[in-house]
Amino acid sequence: MTHATFAVVGHPNKGKSSIVSTLARNDAIAISPRSGTTRSADSITVKTTRSAYELVDTPGFQRPGKVLSWLQQHARSADQRASAVAALIQDKECQKRFPDEIQLLTPLVNGAAILYVVDGSRPYGAEYEAEMEILRWTGQPSMALINPIESEAHVEAWSSALAQYFKTVRIFNPMQADFDKQIELLSAFAHLKPEWSKTLRLVTEDLIASRLAQKEKSAVILARLLEDLCLYQTSQKVLSQSQAEKIQPVLAKTYQHWMRNRERQSIQELFAVYDHFHTSLSIDDLNLPPDLFDCEQWYMWGLSKQQLATVGAITGAAAGAAADAMVAGQSLMLGTIGGGLLGFGSAWLGANKLVDAKIKGLPLGGYEACYGPIKNKNFPYVVIGRFIYLHQQVSHRNHAVREAMQVNAVVLSEQISSLEKSAQKELHAACNQLVKQKPAENLAALLTPLFE
Ligand SMILES: Nc1nc2c(ncn2[C@@H]2O[C@H](COP(=O)(O)OP(=O)(O)OP(=O)(O)O)[C@@H](O)[C@H]2O)c(=O)[nH]1
Ligand SMILES: [Mg+2]
């Protein structure tokens, strides 16, 4: 085997596929509570910028005792054991009797290293010894991984048993292991076979670099989203003023629809950056409770009233006015978008409003009804707050996790106050520019530190 290859083997239903899924960052691999989900040895290539390695997902042992007896009858001494395993996978009768063992042993006979997976929440039992013995007979480099599926109750007993068969024994939880733990495990793989250590070192270096790149890409996605949402407006030309007034609520709907879709699109892009492509992460399952236009949630997603006032002072606007605008904006928004739509021409339009809405007379006759852009000072922060929180969830979500993602509120203000004072000021200035529909320079770069 030219590639560094690792076959993930063990008892059925112990998280083998989960480990492959998390390490390969692949959410398409079949994982289920049903024993015997993986039916054949499936090789997955993990490609990085400069390197690659293979993980082979395999079915679990079904008849290890019988297989070991067969092997014992076909090898008289230790030097014949690896050949006995090779003979087993060639044997027509064995292929019929032990299809799962044939699948899982084939990559090992072809040179793959062994990752033996056990469940640390279940007691150790002598019945595993046949499996470990068979694996030892292959003569391949090996490591045992204890997956504490429900608890760590039996980790100690397992460690002491496994240490007799495997030089390296590690605890690895595919659902919870964070990026650093995954990198640590990969680094340990590098010690299994000296010929593979360079390949694997490159893999880990590349993964660390791409982790940084993912944050930068996310900041770019957010910067584009912010610009688009802050600048968006929609309009329609009509003949009379009364037509313009009638069409205003329709424009308001178009406006919200576009804004929500634009946010969803950016979330989809974010998922793709982190290699989450499959159903469990579809946006409809996302359960993103506070709607973008649910203003009651805005102080939670964006800044608090007090902070907005402070920001007003920082960016030069009158402090009191900023806070007032927010309060007015919030109640008005609820009256219009949250509840039934008020007709155009209502008194609130002249006051501090959330979204700009006007009717213009056109020079050559006729009228134009316009809806947007957003006027609320908290709006950019709300967009940032939501996106940063989603990012936190998506970037830490292991690919073996299949439950729908739950998203709750985040405290953006804390994140912002952890930035350097000058970075905070620049970010506030940029948000202030955006709500004035003016370009904010270096927006992605200003946002990047929020993704740490
Ligand atoms: N809570 C929790 N569940 C886990 C963990 N690892 C695996 N599981 C669950 O255990 C079940 C089996 O996981 P799989 O990865 O499909 O196991 P497998 O060893 O590939 O199973 P087979 O292909 O059937 O041999 C799934 O329902 C997983 O969600 C873990 O670390 N924590
Ligand atoms: Mg499986």
What is the DSSP code string of 62-114? S-HHHHHHHHHHT-SSGGGHHHHHHHHHH-HHHHHH-HHHHHHHHHHHTTPEE
- Tell me which residue has its CA closest to atom 11 in ligand 1: 33
Given this model, what pLDDT does residue 295 score? 55
Ligand 1 pocket mutation, candidates 8, 18, 26, criterion most atoms within 8 A of CB: 18
Average pLDDT (410-423) is 80
- Give strand pairing partners of 202: none
Predicted local distance difference test score (pLDDT) of residue 315: 58
Domain boundary among 158, 192, 226: 192
Does the residue 227 lie in any domain? yes
Average pLDDT of span 218-225: 97
Read off the pTM: 0.84
Q: Are residues 218 and 366 in the same domain?
A: yes
- Same-domain pairing of 413 and 343: yes
186 is written with which tokens? Answer: 């990969």
pLDDT (0 to 100) of residue 121:
97
Residues 200/190, Cβ–Cβ less than 8 Å:
yes
**Higher pLDDT among residues 147 and 301, named by residue:** 147
* In a domain? residue 201: no
Question: Is residue 197 included in any domain, yes or no?
Answer: no
Cα distance between residue 120 and residue 170, in whole Å: 11
| Paired tokens of 134 | 């068979």
Q: Whose CA is nearest to atom 24 of ligand 1?
A: 36
pLDDT band of 206, cuts 50, 70, 90: very high
What is the structure's pLDDT at 314? 59
- Judge contact between 111 and 78, C-beta under 8 A: no
Domain boundary among 192, 221, 249: 192
347 has a pLDDT exceeding 70: no
Q: Which structural domain, as residue segments, surrounds residue 433?
A: 211-451
Q: Is 38 in the pocket of ligand 1 (CB under 6 A)?
A: yes
Mean of pLDDT values over 345-350: 30
Does residue 226 sit within a domain? Answer: yes
The answer to whether the beta carbons of residues 282 and 276 sit under 8 Å apart is no
The pLDDT assigned to 346 comes to 30
Q: Would you call 347 exposed, middle or buried from its count of C-beta atoms within 10 A (0-12, 13-18, 19+)? A: exposed
381 in the same domain as 257: yes
Tell me, rounded to whole angstroms, the distance of Cα 414 from its chain centroid.
22
Say yes or no: 40 and 142 in one domain: yes
177 within domain boundaries = yes
Q: Which helix (H) or strand (E) holds 54?
A: strand 52-57
Whether 128 shows a pLDDT value over 90: the answer reads yes
**Domain match, 382 and 423 both:** yes
Candidate of 149, 152, 403 to mutate for ligand 1, largest count of ligand atoms within 8 Å of Cβ: 149
Q: What is the CA 282 to chain-centroid distance, rounded?
A: 12
The per-residue pLDDT for 393 is: 85
* pLDDT value, residue 19: 98
Which atom belonging to ligand 1 lies closest to the Cα atom of 117?
19
Q: Best substitution site from 13, 44, 58, 401 to test ligand 1's pocket, by max atoms within 8 Å of Cβ? A: 13
Given this model, what pLDDT does residue 134 score? 98
pLDDT at 288: 40
Q: What is the pLDDT of residue 388?
A: 87
Asked whether 149 lines ligand 1 (CB < 6 A), one says yes
Rounded Cα–Cα distance for residues 348 and 252 (Å) = 15
pLDDT of residue 3: 83
For residue 412, tell me if it sits in a domain: yes
Q: Does pLDDT of 9 surpass 90?
A: yes
Ligand 2 centroid, distance to 284 Cα (angstroms)? 27
Mean pLDDT, the chain, whole residue set: 85
Q: Which atom of ligand 1 lies at the shortest distance from residue 14's CA?
A: 19
Confidence at residue 415, expressed as pLDDT on a 0 to 100 scale: 80
For residues 123 and 255, membership in a common domain is answered with no
Q: How many domains does the chain have?
A: 2
Report yes or no on 382 lying in a domain. yes
pLDDT at position 372, please? 87
The confidence score (pLDDT) of residue 348 equals: 30
Beta bridge partners of 54: 5, 45
pLDDT of residue 305: 67
pLDDT tens digits for 282-341?
445 443 434 455 555 556 666 776 677 666 655 554 333 433 344 333 333 332 232 222
Check if 120 has its Cβ closer than 6 Å to any atom of ligand 1.
no
Report the separation in Å between the CA atom of 37 and the middle of ligand 1, taken as the mean of its atom positions: 10
Q: Which of 20, 31, 402 to mutate to test the pocket of ligand 1 (most atoms within 8 A of CB)?
A: 31
Counting atoms of ligand 1 from 1, which one is nearest the CA of 31?
16
Asked if residue 384 and residue 338 are part of one domain, the reply reads yes
Q: Is the pLDDT of residue 279 over 80?
A: no
How far does the centroid of ligand 2 lie from the alpha carbon of residue 283, in Å?
26
Is the pLDDT assigned to residue 123 strictly greater than 90? yes
Residues 114, 217 share a domain: no
pLDDT at residue number 73: 97
Does 31 have pLDDT greater than 50?
Answer: yes
* Same domain assignment for residues 243 and 162: no
Is pLDDT above 50 for 82? yes
More confident residue, 313 or 428: 428
Q: Does 175 contact ligand 1 (Cβ within 6 A)?
A: yes
pLDDT digits (tens, 9 = 90+) for 148-196: 999 999 999 999 999 999 999 999 999 999 999 999 999 999 999 999 9
Question: What is the Å distance from ligand 1's center to 17 Cα?
Answer: 7
Closest CA to 323 of 304, 339, 338: 304
Interval between CA 136 and ligand 1 midpoint (Å): 24
- pLDDT score recorded for residue 16: 98
Element (H, E) at 329: helix 319-333
Lowest mean pLDDT among 17-26, 75-84, 244-253: 244-253
Compute the distance from residue 58 Cα to the ligand 2 centre, in Å.
6
Nearest ligand 1 atom, CA 21: 15
Q: Is 206 inside a domain boundary?
A: no
Examine the fold and report which residue of 141, 165, 192 is the final residue of a domain before the chain moves on: 192
pLDDT at 418: 85
Please state, in angstroms and rounded to a whole number, the distance separating the CA atoms of residues 223 and 133.
Answer: 56
What's the pLDDT score for residue 292? 53
Residues 229 and 179 in one domain: no
Q: Compute, in angstroms, the gap from residue 270 CA to the centroid of ligand 1.
A: 26
Ligand 1 center from residue 16 Cα (angstroms)? 7
| 3-state secondary structure (DSSP) of residue 344 | coil
Residues 415, 366 share a domain: yes
Per-residue pLDDT at 86 exceeds 90 = yes
* Nearest protein Cα to ligand 1, atom 32: 149
State residue 378's pLDDT score. 79
- Going from the Cα of 240 to the center of ligand 1, the distance in angstroms, rounded, reads 65
Is the pLDDT at 36 greater than 50, yes or no? yes
Residue 147 Cα: closest atom of ligand 1:
31
Ligand 1 neighbourhood includes 17 CB (under 6 angstroms): yes
* Same domain (yes/no): 171, 266: no
14 lines ligand 1 (CB under 6 A): yes
- Is 174 near ligand 1, meaning CB less than 6 Å away? yes
Residue 157 sits in a domain of what CATH number? 3.40.50.300
Q: Ligand nearest 15 Cα, by number? A: 1
